[in-house]
Amino acid sequence: MGVRERLRDRVWARPVSPTRPAAPRARLMTGAAVALAAALMAACGSGSTAASSTPASGSPVSGGPGSSGAAAVAASPSGTGVGGGTPGTSGEAVVRALPSPSAWKQERLTRAVSAHGGKTATAPANQITARVGAIFAHSGTGDHFCTGSVVQSAGQSMVVTAAHCVHGGKGGSYNTDIVFVPGYRDGTEPQGEWPIRSIVVDQRWIDSTDPDLDVAFLVLGTVDGRTIASVLGGNKLGVNVGFGRTVALTGYPANAGEPIACFNTTTQQSAYQMKISCPSFPGGTSGSPWLTGFDRATRTGTVIGVIGGYQQGGDTPDISYSPYFDDDVLALYNRAVAEGG
């Protein structure tokens, strides 16, 4: 059918063990890592090759919280309860269009993709990767099993990840005993452990494990009285920005202590799924942000996807998928904002 069939409402969830298979990864030498870092900045700063506008079959429009696409919320025992908030987006925290690159930037992007696109290496510590973190079980004492990233919001307390990281889908349950650790590397936690107050997922994910709705927003508590975005800032959320974007992926393999990174140009896998070729993204990288349009002046990019969706992000570590961020994802985000995110 042309428009995705709506099932019921949206709701909170608990993570399950990631299904992406583990795979060995090769560490790049310092020179290659530096080249990757430069290429990531070039690629993210341009943001687009020849992006199409919307899914060919048209994007379903959600009526927002309370409609047939509404979300429900679950509180985490590690948090302080659900806070208030104003429904809707926060200023320009959500964008629906990205500027086309200049001819000079497009040429630079093309060169970067040709030389370094589709290559995976240890992620450099820079402005692009600083807002990405590992999701741990049991308040940091357990293993990390998924990835998330900070996005802008009114409450400055929101992380986006994959729904299957926090809820098992049909017949499953929530995983609420978790923490978010941004910038984690080999046992060090430079920004500490951030408690999860609540988790927002789509009820249709819970009812049917709909891969097109494999997206979740986490509302975080504070650390030392500060919100996470007041410490790290946040990237924007991009909805309905089309396919064919060049994006940077940063994620935490479950079998490694450091994040990995890759960039390449996305393609359209189906009406509501994106696809990218980036090798050696195994289990643990689910929820990794697809970042584009990074602006060095504002130190801000736009997240247009997360590893998840079709095959819960991919049955092989070399090909990854993401749900297309449309108005359903925007309505989910708005619900998380209303919960204090």
Q: Where are the alpha helices (DSSP H) in the chain?
A: 30-46, 103-116, 203-208, 228-232, 327-338
Candidate from 58-62, 100-104, 287-291 with smallest mean pLDDT: 58-62
**pLDDT computed for residue 109 by the predictor:** 66
Task: For the beta carbon of residue 318, count every other beta carbon within 10 angstroms.
Answer: 14
Q: How is the chain split into domains, by residue range?
A: 30-338
Q: What is the pTM of this model?
A: 0.79
For residue 258, name the pLDDT band (cuts at 50, 70, 90): very high
- Reply yes or no on whether the pLDDT at 293 is more than 60: yes
Looking at 34-137, which runs of residues are DSSP E strands?
A: 71-75, 94-95, 121-122, 132-137
| Token duo for residue 88 | 């809707």
Candidate from 8-22, 246-260, 268-282 with smallest mean pLDDT: 8-22
**pLDDT computed for residue 89 by the predictor:** 34
- Asked if residues 44 and 239 have their Cβ atoms less than 8 Å apart, the reply is no
**What would the pLDDT profile of 207-244 be if each residue is shown by its tens digit?**
999 999 999 999 999 999 999 999 999 999 999 999 99
CATH architecture of the region 30-338: Beta Barrel (2.40)
319-329: string of b/e by CB count within 10 Å (b at 16+)?
bbbbbbbbbbb
| Token duo for residue 172 | 């499953």
Q: Return the H-helix or E-strand segment holding 11.
A: none
CA distance 217 to 162: 8
Nearest to 335 by CA among 43, 74, 124, 27: 74
For residue 39, name the pLDDT band (cuts at 50, 70, 90): low
Tally of CA atoms within 13 A in the half-sphere of 188 that contains its CB: 6
- Reply yes or no on whether the pLDDT at 73 is more than 70: no
- Reply yes or no on whether the pLDDT at 119 is more than 90: yes
